[in-house]
Amino acid sequence: MKHIFAVSALALALPVIAVAQAQTAPQNETMQPLSAQDKLFIKKAAYAGLAEVSDGQLAESKGDASVKKVATQMVTDHAKANDQLTSLSQSLGDPAPTRTDTKHLKIHNALQGLSGAAFNAKYLKTELQGHEMTITAFQTEINSGSNPQLKQFASQTLPILQMHLSMIKSAVPPGNG
């Protein structure tokens, strides 16, 4: 009797479990493909973010106090954003690059060869230019991207990038911007 009751309960539960599994099926099975803009955004954001962490770690060891403060903020915030972008892009079926591009590697290599005031000036200059370009890329995704999740990521990250830009500008000595 107990066995029949258990089998009956299981038989009644199976359709409920099947419906629950169907409702939690991965979204990317029913999602439309990413647009060219979305794919470009993933690459640009990943390359820039990876470079920010790498260059920031270098600046944490080579920079003066004001540069180290900027660098530590860059490493913390960009590492978090990189993790979010990696997870999101994987779920969308277009994984973000895990290494930065040649352009950013050249900048990093140039920074490695510098020290003192020359390092500080070059690091802050590249941070300023990099954040201006990255802000533009994030604004473009917000305005022209097609994937709502990427647009939301860009919208949530943009204020942090703008705060970084202000922080960098404050750290640049007068006449060196």
pLDDT, tens digit, 9 for 90 and up, residues 50-62: 999 999 999 999 9
174 — pLDDT class (breaks 50, 70, 90): confident
Instruction: Give the residue carrying structure tokens 């920079």.
Output: 63
Q: Give the angle 75-77-80 at the CA atoms, nearest 5°.
A: 100
5 — pLDDT class (breaks 50, 70, 90): very low
Q: How far apart are CA 155 and CA 2, in angstroms?
A: 57
What would the mean pLDDT of 88-114 be, rounded to a whole number? 97
173 — pLDDT class (breaks 50, 70, 90): confident
pTM of the model: 0.81
Instruction: Give the residue carrying structure tokens 């750290």.
Output: 171
Q: How far is CA 130 from CA 27, 45, 168, in A?
A: 33, 11, 11
14 — pLDDT class (breaks 50, 70, 90): very low
Q: Is residue 134 within 8 Å of 63, Cβ to Cβ? A: no
**Does pLDDT of 1 surpass 90?**
no
Q: Is residue 70 within 8 Å of 59, Cβ to Cβ? A: yes
89 — pLDDT class (breaks 50, 70, 90): very high
Domain ranges of the chain: 35-171
Residue 86 C-beta-side C-alpha neighbours within 13 Å: 12
Q: How far apart are CA 63 and CA 115, in angstroms?
A: 8
**Does pLDDT of 12 surpass 70?**
no
Q: Tens digits of per-residue pLDDT, 108-162?
A: 999 999 999 999 999 999 999 999 999 999 999 999 999 999 999 999 999 999 9
Q: Is residue 59 within 8 Å of 51, Cβ to Cβ? A: no
The architecture in CATH of the region 35-171 reads Up-down Bundle (1.20)
32 — pLDDT class (breaks 50, 70, 90): confident
**Does pLDDT of 170 surpass 70?**
yes
**Does pLDDT of 18 surpass 90?**
no
Q: Is residue 52 within 8 Å of 130, Cβ to Cβ? A: yes
